[in-house]
Structure 1
């Protein structure tokens, strides 16, 4: 079974106009009916850094989880954020952005890679004690625009360090839309073979016209965990291309359908969520 992770948090967080808390909750409640494996619903980070997410705890209090099988994931950037998120039993996963680019790690979390790895280990231990699971996102996982070192072998070194800590889920993140299908297939095949106990996912930012070969390359290499956002809302401003955004969930589902993969998605509920997204992101 394919695991689809819907990312309203990623779609919302970069918007300058604050989205009303009740509207966020209504949208996420609709997403909870669609059949996604996980909803990346919010983050516990500094409101100065991401003002759009300052109401994550309040949004959580408005969610109806009893009629949904979807799990909840919250992004955190340090131990304090993890401790805040761990207060809520409704949250199943914590997500931490670890970059293979030193420059981006400093920009994203004000930490060096060495410090960030220490933070990952600390947060993973907190998750273990509290019955949660840490999802580690390897951002700039397919290259970076800074001239920092990059290679699939470098990524494998990061994965090895994470495996030694006991990390079970790693998602390769193409932060700037630089991956091609050959690199995606190579990266997954190498790591899935070397680290069979880790579940690897894919968080792409991509131009829509390039999406199908990328997803099919990941499927061929054995990837069964994919992140998306309805209509592709959100993305990374550093991509410097307005077409490079999150993977549109509806496009991802269409590609999976064409390749014969079962998603478990309720199409009627998805249609309602797509209608509602137009109101949220108007």
Structure 2
């Protein structure tokens, strides 16, 4: 069964003009009706770092969660964010970006790899005490533009460390779009062989030209959990001035259709969300 996390948070965070809270709520409510497995709806991070998402708590308080099976995922970057997010009963998953690139970890969370490992221990405790599920993104899993050390063995060693700590949800994250079909297959197959009991997915960024081949590589490797964003918008403003968009939800759904696989997504609700997305993304 294919499980899709829709990532409007990732798509919106790089938009400079502030999107009105009411627009965010309307858009997220439409996505909640579509039937995605999870919705990456917002983040509890510094408003100075990501000003676009400073209203996440307000947005959450206005969402219509009365008739949806979609679970909410919030991104956190430190212990304070985990404490804040854990107070909301509506949130199921707390997502923490753990980069195997020292440079990016500093840029993204203002803490290095070793300090972030310590922070993860605290975050896991917070999750356990509050009934939340921790989800760790292995960020820069496919390489990095900074010249920091990278190898499949480094990725595997950090995955092993996290699994030993009790992490059950991991996402191979390609923050800057450097993954190739070959590296996707290699890493995914290696990790599923080593950790067959872990919920492992991919969070890929891509240019439109290479999107389909990346989806196909992940699927052929056995991946059944994908992060996507309508229109292929998104990118991490902490990684680069030139953002590389997320895998487009439409591209994944089209691929699944060619395989005669039912995505379980409500197409009418999805079309409404696509139509409204112009209100969100036609901004500078």
Class of the TM-score when normalised by the shorter of the 2 chains:
over 0.9
What are the equivalent positions in structure 2 for 1:102-117 lying under 5 Å apart? 102-117=102-117
Q: Which position in structure 2 is the counterpart of 1:256?
A: 256
Alignment match, 1:210: 210
Do the aligned partners of 1:138 and 1:173 also contact (CA within 8 Å) in 2? Answer: yes
Task: Give the equivalent residue in structure 2 for 1:273.
Answer: 273
Task: Say if 1:175 and 1:236, in contact at 8 Å, map to a contact too.
Answer: yes
What is the count of residue pairs matched by the alignment? 281
- 1:17-96 residue pairs with structure 2 within 5 A? 17-96=17-96
Q: Does 1:141 align with 2:141?
A: yes
CA deviations over 1:162-207 (Å, ceiling 9, x no partner): 0110000000111111110011011011100101121111111101
Residues in 2 aligned to 1:15 and 1:178: alpha-carbon distance in whole angstroms: 22
- Bigger mean CA deviation after superposition, 87-96 or 220-229: 220-229
Q: CA deviation at 1:213?
A: 1.5
Partner residue in 1 for 2:226: 226
Taking the TM superposition and a 5 Å limit, the aligned residue runs for 1:158-177 are 158-177=158-177
Shift in Å at residue 240 of structure 1? 6.5
**Distance in 2 separating the partners of 1:279 and 1:125:** 39
Structure 1 alignment gaps of length 5 or more:
none
Question: Equivalent residue for 2:193?
Answer: 193
Give me the whole-angstrom Cα distance separating, in 2, the residues matched to 1:126 and 1:259. Answer: 41
Q: Within 2, Cα distance between the matches of 1:210 and 1:245?
A: 12
- Give the CA deviation at 1:217: 1.2
Deviations 1:135-160 (A, max 9, x none): 10111110001111101111000100
CA contact (8 A) 1:77 1:96 kept: yes
- 1:118 aligned onto 2:132: no
**Aligned-pair distance for 1:236?**
3.6
Displacement of 1:239 in angstroms is 5.6
CA RMSD of aligned residues (A): 1.2
Q: Is the 8 A contact 1:13 1:52 kept in 2?
A: yes
CA drift of 1:66 comes to 1.1
Runs of 4+ in 1 over 6 A off after TM superposition: none
- State the Cα distance separating 1:259 from its structure 2 match: 2.4
Kindly state the Cα deviation for residue 246 of structure 1 after the two structures are TM-superposed. 0.9
Structure 1 residue 232 displacement after superposition: 1.0
SS at match of 2:34: coil
Between the two structures, name the one with larger relative contact order (CA 8 Å, sep ≥ 6): 2
